[in-house]
């Protein structure tokens, strides 16, 4: 893998802002383990992916960095590749993800790679001659691991929320709640038609050079945009006030420090269990087979039952010796791969082929995101007998999967519940304990 002098690499000024905490984590990882995933650049040394890694290297004073060099024929192809990699990363806020979905949709349409509304096998009869062939909204949704409806809602959020309102939302809990974001976007539905018609009329007037009509449509557009902003700000303020009130009462409703051996919560479609996840009580909560179980190795491992409850079981650990673990278990080992610094052992009821390993996956949440894309579809059940930092729970929430997660460590359970609540703005419902 070639090393390129950092000062030679060009970074587009319009890239999304870096997150300082992410850079700090990467600096510690680089000092301990070196660069686990090279950055991606094109042949003109333009950065495609890896801004946080590049920034960490700069702050550490390292002069050269390993690069994966790709060859794109156009700026659109390069930007599309950058968007697709960013969508793999799970640290994106729901609002950021929605904006990328919309930009991706616009790019694909401009490149002629997206089917238009009303297209079918007859209107696209010659599409097999296009490389790659055009795709429908449903195909794109399946490709990125979300339902068509979720994708449509995301694009509505990105398109309909006023830019000034987006800036206020970013960095708040609302930015991670698709439900709340959609509520803000729809707050201005009464002026949406006026906005759309004014934009079309303004474009037509500009094309025909009608000065008076141009000015008229600009005024209509400005008034409609001001009204949209006003309505959405009112709605956002109401949501934030309500959110603040809920968070103030949250600790009493989700505390797990009291006495009592077992507690359960319903979190929307998810279920959280505080107790021994090798017990029959936890196992009996599995009313159907899961598509995927994700577990981490521990000194108290007694979770071989997972292979009978999930089609695929992924076991994560921070270092090797997965084969020694495999010899001690009854699960059917398939293969092992390394993502970043994490070793992942894959077990399955039936033989499954090993997939190509992605170049860029960072952190535990990036790994969970990759596993869900690989082995599940929207609305599938995912089982997690360890809470960890809540990574599996929040990733399932973001990707439209259903999660059953438990842990005997009450502090971990509490942490996961708080992460879900901060992400969604909703209250966990205690059903036992």
Q: Is the peptide bond before 414 cis (omega within 30 degrees of 0)?
A: no
Q: Which residue has the tokens 């089609």?
A: 311
Contact 270, 397 (CB under 8 A): yes
Q: Phi and psi dihedrals of 418, rounded to 5? A: -65, -40
Q: How far apart are CA 111 and CA 91, in angstroms?
A: 28
Range with the lowest mean pLDDT among 112-116, 268-272, 381-385, 389-393? 112-116
The pLDDT value given to residue 33: 77
Tokens of 124: 């696209």
DSSP bridge pairs for 67: 39
Residue among 109, 108, 239, 136 at smallest CA distance from 185:
239
Taking 50 as the threshold, does the pLDDT of residue 120 lie above it? no
Q: What is the average pLDDT across 315-341?
A: 72
Tokens of 12: 């587009």
Q: How far apart are CA 129 and CA 365, in angstroms?
A: 38
The pLDDT value given to residue 145: 62
109-to-88, 105, 203 alpha-carbon distances in Å: 21, 6, 19
The pLDDT value given to residue 137: 61
Report the mean per-residue pLDDT for the chain.
Answer: 81
Q: How far apart are CA 411 and CA 413, in angstroms?
A: 5
Q: What is the average pLDDT across 16-28?
A: 78
Q: Which of helix, strand or coil describes residue 407?
A: strand
Q: Which of helix, strand or coil describes residue 225?
A: helix
The pLDDT value given to residue 324: 61
Tokens of 65: 């960095």
Taking 90 as the threshold, does the pLDDT of residue 25 lie above it? no
Q: Which of helix, strand or coil describes residue 314?
A: strand
The pLDDT value given to residue 122: 43
Alpha helix ranges (H) inside 170-210: 178-186, 189-208
Q: How many CB atoms lie within 10 A of CB 59?
A: 14
More confident residue, 95 or 359: 95
């Amino acid at each position: 893998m070639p090393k390129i002098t950092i000062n030679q690499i060009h970074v587009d000024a319009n890239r999304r802002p870096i997150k300082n905490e992410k850079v700090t984590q990467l600096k510690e990882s680089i000092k301990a383990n070196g660069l686990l995933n090279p950055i991606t650049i094109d042949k003109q040394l333009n950065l495609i992916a890896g801004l946080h890694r590049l920034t960490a290297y700069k702050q550490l004073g390292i002069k050269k960095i390993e690069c994966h060099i790709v060859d794109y024929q156009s700026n659109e192809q390069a930007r599309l590749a950058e968007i697709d990699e960013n969508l793999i990363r799970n640290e994106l806020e729901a609002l950021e993800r929605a904006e990328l979905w919309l930009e991706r949709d616009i790019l694909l349409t401009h490149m002629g790679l997206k089917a238009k509304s009303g297209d079918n096998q007859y209107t696209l009869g010659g599409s097999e001659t296009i490389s790659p062939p055009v795709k429908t909204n449903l195909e794109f949704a399946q490709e990125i691991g979300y339902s068509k409806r979720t994708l449509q809602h995301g694009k509505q959020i990105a398109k309909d929320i006023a830019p000034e309102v987006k800036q206020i939302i970013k960095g708040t809990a609302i930015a991670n709640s698709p439900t709340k974001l959609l509520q803000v976007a729809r707050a201005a539905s009464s002026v949406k038609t006026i906005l759309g018609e004014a934009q079309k009329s303004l474009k037509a007037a500009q094309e025909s050079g009608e000065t008076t009509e141009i000015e008229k449509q600009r005024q209509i557009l400005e008034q409609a945009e001001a009204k949209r902003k006003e309505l959405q700000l009112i709605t956002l303020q109401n949501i934030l006030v309500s959110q603040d009130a809920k968070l103030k009462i949250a600790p009493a409703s989700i505390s797990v420090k009291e006495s009592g051996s077992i507690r359960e919560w319903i979190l929307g479609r998810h279920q959280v269990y505080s107790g021994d996840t090798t017990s029959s009580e936890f196992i009996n909560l599995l009313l159907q087979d899961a598509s995927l179980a994700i577990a981490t190795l521990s000194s108290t491992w007694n979770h071989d039952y997972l292979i009978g409850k999930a089609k695929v079981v992924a076991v994560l650990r921070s270092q090797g010796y997965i084969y020694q673990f495999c010899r001690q278990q009854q699960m059917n080992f398939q293969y092992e791969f390394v993502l970043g610094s994490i070793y992942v052992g894959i077990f399955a009821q039936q033989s499954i082929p090993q997939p190509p390993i992605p170049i860029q996956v960072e952190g535990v949440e990036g790994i969970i995101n990759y596993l869900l894309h690989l082995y599940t579809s929207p609305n599938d059940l995912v089982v997690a007998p360890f809470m960890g930092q809540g990574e599996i729970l929040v990733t399932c929430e973001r990707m439209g999967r259903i999660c059953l997660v438990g842990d005997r460590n009450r502090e971990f359970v509490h942490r996961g519940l708080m992460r879900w609540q901060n992400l969604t703005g909703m209250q966990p419902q205690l059903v036992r304990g």
